[in-house]
């Protein structure tokens, strides 16, 4: 384990591509790395893991295994290791704390390729979360650490990583939201499609197994919905099936389980929701850009900047109480700045990548 936590010396190997490999495996990764891709231009090369991402790529996507987490990680690591060995980029870029990010970091390290970590330094302090282990490991393996906030920078220094190239870049959420948010008239069409009125509903996104399989979750959502705020919950098939099983014990017509939405449609609903309920890190960030209050259904968050003006934490069993209290005491968030950046993070991150390529 110690060998993983330390950054091993790399053996110089010949370059063949002069490119920055952007490893993408989840929708938040493609949405939030899009500004970096645009800023890098021809320097960027997309390496996709999984076939469901709405983006073109220069190569077919790598197969996305449906085995448990460890099997998927091992398969992705093996695939990326072979890709990097065969077609050597100058730099590998990963984002966040997903298994894809960890696999990309390990594959880059095993091939002696420098690594840039976007959203470095985030810490929830909850070691029961697999993502927390991923964050720490990826940061340990990175050459350039692009931190979104001063808190993240402080975390990296506290862990002894201040000697690396740590950069306060901000987060690309503001750029991604600005690019994908529909015009007001188109947002109205989205609300009309679902029969919703502005500030008259709750938009929920829940994906973590300990939440969607919690016996109280659907009862709490139904209670919130029956209090006058219909709850719209877009869900992947796995989550949808779990919630439908649980909702068999709950009777309400105001809890609407819908299929996953296109990101632009989701942002339109989020922009006009009275409240967001989520266990997603990306949605927490989007709430601060859209100026919407948010309840985070987790014990802690790696984005503490959300708490206070924008957000509160809640457990599944007390979700309705926390959400209703938040709805009754809503602050005017229009003038509260987004804590994750000024809308220019993509340019800063791209510059960090270029600087590392030049060093090669």
308 domain residue, yes or no: yes
Q: What percent of the chain has pLDDT over 90?
A: 74
Place of tokens 């709850």: 231
Lowest mean pLDDT of 24-33, 262-271, 315-324, name the range: 24-33
Q: Are residues 228 and 247 in the same domain?
A: yes
Residue 248: per-residue pLDDT = 59
Instruction: Give the Cα separation of 302 and 319 in Å (integer).
Output: 19
Residue 66: per-residue pLDDT = 44
Residue among 201, 176, 196, 216 at smallest CA distance from 297: 216
Average of pLDDT values for 139-148?
Answer: 98
How far is the CA of 240 from the CAs of 174, 237, 298, 308, 351, in angstroms? 29, 5, 19, 31, 41
Three-state SS at 349: helix
pLDDT of residue 247 exceeding 70: no
Q: Are residues 231 and 324 in the same domain?
A: yes
pLDDT of residue 87 exceeding 80: yes
pLDDT, mean over the chain: 89
Q: What percent of the chain has pLDDT over 70?
A: 87
Residue 3: per-residue pLDDT = 39
177 domain residue, yes or no: no
Average of pLDDT values for 287-308?
Answer: 97
Residue among 209, 214, 261, 211 at smallest CA distance from 233: 261
Residue 330: per-residue pLDDT = 83
Q: Are 185 and 159 a contacting pair, CB within 8 Å?
A: no
79 domain residue, yes or no: yes
243 or 342, higher pLDDT: 342
Domain encompassing residue 91:
20-171+342-359
pLDDT of residue 135 exceeding 60: yes
Residue among 334, 277, 345, 286 at smallest CA distance from 309: 334
Three-state SS at 49: strand
Q: Are residues 105 and 82 in the same domain?
A: yes
Lowest mean pLDDT of 51-55, 137-141, 232-236, 342-346, name the range: 51-55
Q: Are residues 318 and 200 in the same domain?
A: yes
Q: Are 202 and 224 a contacting pair, CB within 8 Å?
A: yes
Residue 246: per-residue pLDDT = 67
Residue 52: per-residue pLDDT = 47
CATH number at residue 81: 3.40.50.2000
Residue 7: per-residue pLDDT = 55
pLDDT band at 331 (very low <50, low <70, confident <90, very high): confident
Quote the tokens at residue 126. 């909850």
Residue 61: per-residue pLDDT = 52
pLDDT band at 360 (very low <50, low <70, confident <90, very high): confident
Residue 147: per-residue pLDDT = 98
336 domain residue, yes or no: no
b/e 150-165 (16+ beta carbons within 10 angstroms → b): ebbbebbeeeebeebb
251 or 311, higher pLDDT: 311
CA dihedral 145, 266, 187, 196 (to 10 degrees): -140
How far is the CA of 241 from the CAs of 146, 207, 225, 226, 258, in angstroms? 37, 12, 20, 22, 11
Lowest mean pLDDT of 75-84, 178-187, 214-223, 252-261, name the range: 252-261
Q: Are residues 143 and 25 in the same domain?
A: yes
Q: Are residues 37 and 135 in the same domain?
A: yes
Three-state SS at 326: helix
3 domain residue, yes or no: no
Can you give the length of the chain in residues?
A: 360
Residue 255: per-residue pLDDT = 87
Q: Are residues 186 and 119 in the same domain?
A: no
Number of domains in the chain: 2
């Amino acid at each position: 384990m110690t060998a993983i936590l330390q950054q091993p010396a790399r053996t110089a190997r010949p370059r063949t591509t002069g490119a920055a490999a952007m490893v993408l495996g989840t929708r938040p990764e493609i949405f939030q790395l899009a500004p970096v891709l645009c800023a890098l231009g021809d320097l960027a090369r997309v390496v996709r893991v999984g076939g469901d991402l709405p983006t073109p790529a220069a190569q077919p996507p790598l197969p996305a295994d449906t085995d448990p987490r460890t099997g998927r990680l091992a398969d992705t690591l093996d695939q990326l290791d072979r890709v990097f060995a065969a077609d050597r980029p100058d730099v590998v870029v990963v984002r966040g704390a997903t298994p894809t990010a960890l696999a990309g970091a390990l594959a880059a390290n095993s091939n002696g390729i420098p690594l840039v970590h976007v959203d470095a330094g985030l810490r929830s302090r909850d070691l029961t979360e697999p993502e927390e282990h991923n964050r720490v490991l990826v940061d340990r393996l990175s050459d350039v650490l692009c931190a979104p906030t001063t808190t993240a920078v402080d975390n990296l220094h506290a862990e002894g990583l201040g000697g690396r190239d740590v950069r306060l870049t901000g987060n690309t959420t503001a750029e991604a939201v600005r690019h994908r948010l529909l015009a007001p008239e188109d947002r109205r069409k989205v609300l009309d499609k679902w029969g919703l009125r502005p500030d008259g509903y709750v938009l929920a996104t829940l994906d973590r197994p300990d939440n969607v399989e919690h016996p109280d979750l659907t009862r709490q959502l139904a209670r919130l919905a029956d209090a006058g705020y219909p709850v719209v919950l877009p869900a992947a098939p796995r989550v949808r099936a779990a919630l439908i099983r649980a909702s068999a014990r709950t009777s309400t017509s105001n809890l609407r389980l819908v299929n996953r939405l296109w990101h632009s449609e989701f942002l339109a609903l989020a922009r006009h929701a009275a409240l967001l309920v989520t266990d997603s890190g990306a949605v927490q960030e989007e709430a601060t850009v859209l100026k919407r209050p948010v309840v985070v259904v987790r014990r802690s968050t790696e984005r503490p900047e959300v708490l206070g003006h924008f957000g509160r934490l809640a457990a599944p069993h007390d979700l309705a109480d926390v959400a209703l209290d938040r709805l009754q005491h809503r602050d005017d968030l229009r003038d509260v700045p987004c804590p994750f950046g000024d809308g220019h993070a993509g340019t800063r991150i791209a510059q960090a990548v270029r600087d590392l390529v030049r060093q090669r």
